Structure 1
Amino acid sequence: MKKIALFPGSFDPFTKGHQDIVLRGLRLFDEVIIGIGRNARKERYFPLDQMIHLIEEAFQEYPNVRVISYDDLTANVARNEGAKFLLRGLRNTTDFEYENGISQVNRHIYEEIETVFLITSPNLAPISSSIIRDLHRYGQQVDEFLPYKLVNQTV
């Protein structure tokens, strides 16, 4: 049976830290689906279509990586995609506290789902999407933190 993991997040933007989790996840899983969830409470900074395109481009050499967007509960999406695993990255204990609660709820909704946590590589731990958004918003170059180049520096 194929081991499929869903890597859910808002990925606004998708960083080298996220890329690292996906590439390391490929050592554990046959397929990793990067799932960009839509959050009704948050307005995206980078357009969803642009982010999907950039992530697909970053993983074009990996046929076992797919990118989807969704507007549903993550556990439901995992079930519908045939994923028995959720892949999550942890930078610190704050991330763990937050992710632990979510993993319990996902397990309640979809009993067969297991959440697999990977500790972020130390050199990538300081990178967060919110920091990158702030840098970009105020005109700073952010490409060194991303696995792709932002062609249009304005949003």
Structure 2
Amino acid sequence: MTSLFMLPDARAHDPAIDVWLQERVSGPDPALGALAQHWFQVLRDCGDDVRELLHDGMPTACVGQAAFAHVAAYKAHVNVGFFRGAALLASGADPVGLLEGSGRSMRHVKLRSEDASDEATLRALIQAAYEDVRRQTAAQAPP
């Protein structure tokens, strides 16, 4: 059985995330803030069952209570992190090698405002992460 990272406080909309995103957009590097805002909206738009919260200071998206991805803004880049990124990598969901990291389960995609990221590929990776956690959640639901 696959272990999911559960966040029971996730909710349909967390206003604290809007504040976090707005602080980044109006901060020292508005382009990075806009990048974080854009990609978190992509996470939000994955499905009606997406819930969210700030976890460890980062906007985090969940399927119900099971975390699937987060966005983090740093001084020179934005990360889109995947809680089951190693499983995504093993499944072949990242054919162009966007995922970075070597942890047991998490992986991330590093984005810089000046980079021309492959939007379609990252969107597909996000959708794969969402669908993976959705399947895992359904498989672990009591009968």
Q: What's the TM-score once normalised by structure 1's chain length?
A: 0.28
Query: Relative contact order (alpha carbons < 8 A, sep ≥ 6): 1 or 2 greater?
Result: 1
TM-score computed with the length of structure 2 as normaliser: 0.30
